[in-house]
A and B are shown apart, each in its own frame.
Chain A
């Protein structure tokens, strides 16, 4: 049976997923080797129960991210922090010097083009956590893929290692922040 792989987009800009797609023709090879069971690029509503490898992009920034992080951990054998936001908080965590109220005011009032309204009941957008956190401060993470975004080569290397049954102890050639 092919290993089940999930990719998840938490508090990030989707750049890590763009880099994933930049693996170009290697994606075809990958499609033969894995089953992509959950991803922003696949139309699947719920995170499946028995995932082998989850690549998680982005910091944990709102209550929905936090809940998702716990579901991912419960349902996956191997969780990989995918990129600098997941690993360090990075750009997503730059808001941590301000309170969620200040941020909401900035985004929905100060920068509003039309009718400035702060969403009062958090029905359409998830409530911000007091601070955005790297994934490993919320759940146990098994390995880290660095870079903003990680290069297609890094991603290919990590996935190839995992498919070969090895934990990607990413060698220092792939260790680079930013």
Chain B
């Protein structure tokens, strides 16, 4: 492990070579918007909200899956990045069916927060109103694909933390969808332990507890840090202490 020095938004910062640009930025209180990233899960670079510019490179890089290099000069908040981020949120909004007013997570939703952060006055693309299935067959939880942004947090937490691997993604492109086991009703899934982790990590109202009505569902995502730290360090604390 080596300590590297780089520049983010004109500020000299240092970080370890096995950390991501996102981790290093956050350690220095530099905010980068994210959606698919969640502390405690592996990073997949799916949502592209964390894109940053690196001087000398024409393409953009997702901060959550990009490693630092000595002398790297990074920008996280340029006009070009702001334009891209707004476009991403607009595409997410137009490709799903979001009616915040009647959604279980209204006012506690990471997609809403992002819409506010990018200043989304309106969506420039035509809304697609896709036909999406809702799965209410599980005894405690509901999957409403209308609200799903395909961040795959549920897939990863179920596989990496719970070890059940109930969720997967089927289909391609705009037809991608979350499926349980062999594309069967969630309630019939033999692998699901009903632990509820997927429900807690879902950034939107796509996964929620039964019996929740509009704006009632507030998710606690901190629990993951405890579990992951307990596993790796055998300590019941939110952040692992440095060895």
List residues of A whose CB falls within 8 A of some B CB. 81, 84, 87-91, 93-94, 96-97, 131, 133-134, 136-137, 141, 143-144, 146, 148, 170, 172, 175-178
Contact = CB atoms under 8 A, between A and B. Distances in A.
A144 B108 CA distance: 22
Given A93-B127, A97-B132, A176-B116, 4 more contacts: A88-B122, A90-B101, A97-B97, A178-B107
A100 to B, nearest CB: 13
B99 interface: yes
A178 B100 contact: yes
A84 B103 CA distance: 13
Contacts of A148: 100-101
Nearest to B123: A88
21 contacts: A81-B122, A84-B99, A84-B101, A88-B93, A90-B99, A93-B129, A94-B99, A97-B97, A97-B129, A97-B130, A97-B131, A136-B122, A137-B127, A144-B122, A172-B119, A175-B116, A176-B112, A177-B98, A177-B115, A178-B101, A178-B107
Interface residues on B, range: 20 to 34
Interface in B120-142: 120-123, 126-127, 129-132
B34 interface: no
A87 B129 contact: no
B148 to A, nearest CB: 15
Nearest to B105: A178
Contacts of A175: 115-116, 119-121
B106 interface: yes
B174 interface: no
Contact of B112 (A97, A134, A177): A177
A172 B123 CA distance: 16
Contact of B121 (A91, A97, A133, A144): A144
Interface in B60-111: 93, 97-103, 106-107
Contacts of B127: 88-89, 93, 133-134, 137
